[in-house]
A and B are shown apart, each in its own frame.
Chain A
């Protein structure tokens, strides 16, 4: 989600991720509190296949229909132990999942993110960065479609090229051409008080082809919470889910913070809907203004 590097994965690389499963990564059973994750309602989250399916039902749907996820948070800078609010964050994604195997789903992802004023909540076009005092232009973030694979565990290495995105200018501001190292893990389910939590962590390290440029990183943890009873219904292709997230990321080029030892962090909450019109009002309003085609036919974007 957000400005993750994960959307940059190409289909070729996604399939390469599948190859990794033959080395046992994807087949790894969920460790940890596995014994506590079995319910009397027929839900066995100690099974990697069921755990993965449950996660997809929380993140999207099993029946290949569209799902929309929103995230709302606050972004900070962290420099020398000092945390300063930078901006609001409002992200939206369009996804469609398809089962490839018991231990793997493919999904197509399109993302739109807005960086907003803490004071007004409106989309920022300029922002004065702390520590440097530089006023920078804030880009609109829009990327996709990206085709990805979700497994219990995945490690990939790929090339990121700015000409693979919808906008070369945007790509230049988000990240330079680079080698990308990406890991993804689904954690064991936690079950408590009639609720189920499943967490996935991803970490991306980007090493620019231009060795004079600093490496970048992106760390994302997203936790999905659903009602156990909903997941115990085997006929439900999707379930309502609440989301919490935490992201840490290196300075982006558009922030012009080179030479400042620090990074940004973002945390917040979110949710999933099955109709883009049910996304938060401000996301709809911003998208009508900046990306009206997204609202016209979001499904078409995934086929583009």
Chain B
């Protein structure tokens, strides 16, 4: 949900593509999750909900629709999600606080087929002081002691896809005039996405969505990067199963790990960042966390003016 590197048009940078073995691993990653009865294992998931007007979560198209209802919408209206997390730096078995993470996405979903949805999205992520929550301008990186400038992560409008099992390979070039290059260099992006079978507890449905991306920079001297994200969406089972509902109020648990970003200036120091937190959908802009709105008015006010117009312009 944050700092993912969705596909964007651009020139190819394919000189460091993953080898076949890594591609096989990525496929295996998705398959093992899909085979994962682990999250079904208490037998609580309704196996006989193939009643008219209800989703049957044993069917992949319905599992996808359930996730889209929770994470987005079956309709094409504006969907807003927010996230609050803490980020740590991890290096050689040591863990240090890095920052707070405060993000929101503005999305328009569209059904492509029974097996696939697309989403046009704008993502704004603010990095905040770990303790005070104040918006960071600069930060002394753990382990390196280097003071670095902290950019706001603004991404999109960009288009991404959702499916129960999805492998994507795209070329990425940071858009001019944006901070995108501070988060990933130009290169080829391999992305695996998967939706695990649901788990039900006390009438609440939990669905896990996984994203694992690798960036192979066009500049051969740059290291490869990775991004691994788990989001677990939850909402009342009955509301999600109801075929009449298109967009369900849902909560999300978030956990991610990512390579050092270019703005962190960590060079070849071993390690990565680890973040986790929580969030949910917001019914409107006014329902976003107050501090997110305040920081976004400072750093990206146009997004708050009319996010839907920005998304519509990108879709045209």
Contact = CB atoms under 8 A, between A and B. Distances in A.
Interface string A259-276: 001010101110100000
B25 A219 contact: no
A197 B278 contact: yes
A302 interface: no
B32 A119 contact: yes
B168 to A, nearest CB: 16
A221 B86 contact: yes
Nearest to B255: A267
Contacts of B277: 223
B262 to A, nearest CB: 15
Contacts of B42: 121, 280-282
A271 B253 CA distance: 13
For chain B, give the interface size range.
35 or more
A33 interface: yes
A263 B228 CA distance: 14
B90 A219 contact: yes
A31 B132 contact: yes
Contacts of B225: 81
B255 A118 contact: no
A217 B257 contact: no
Contacts, number: 142
Contact of B253 (A88, A187, A269, A282): A269
A188 to B, nearest CB: 8
Contact of A265 (B22, B32, B254, B274): B274
B278 A246 contact: no
B32 A269 contact: no
Interface in A236-286: 242, 244-246, 248, 250, 261, 263, 265, 267-269, 271, 280-282
Contact of B206 (A215, A265, A267, A269): A269
A181 B93 CA distance: 12
B141 interface: no
Contacts of B53: none
A225 B224 CA distance: 37
Interface of B: 22, 25, 28-29, 32-33, 35-44, 84, 86, 88, 90, 93-95, 131-133, 196, 199, 201-202, 206, 208, 212, 214, 224-226, 228, 230, 232, 234, 251, 253-255, 257, 259, 270, 272, 274, 276-278, 280, 287, 289-291
In the A-B complex, the 3 residue pairs with the smallest Cβ-Cβ separation, listed nearest first, are: A121-B41, A81-B226, A244-B253
24 contacts: A74-B36, A74-B38, A74-B196, A78-B228, A81-B214, A81-B226, A81-B272, A82-B25, A83-B212, A118-B32, A118-B35, A118-B36, A118-B37, A119-B32, A119-B35, A119-B36, A121-B38, A216-B93, A217-B93, A223-B253, A225-B251, A225-B278, A244-B255, A267-B255
Interface of A: 31-33, 36, 72, 74, 76, 78, 81-85, 88, 116-122, 187, 190, 192-193, 197, 199, 201, 203, 205, 214-217, 219, 221, 223, 225, 242, 244-246, 248, 250, 261, 263, 265, 267-269, 271, 280-282
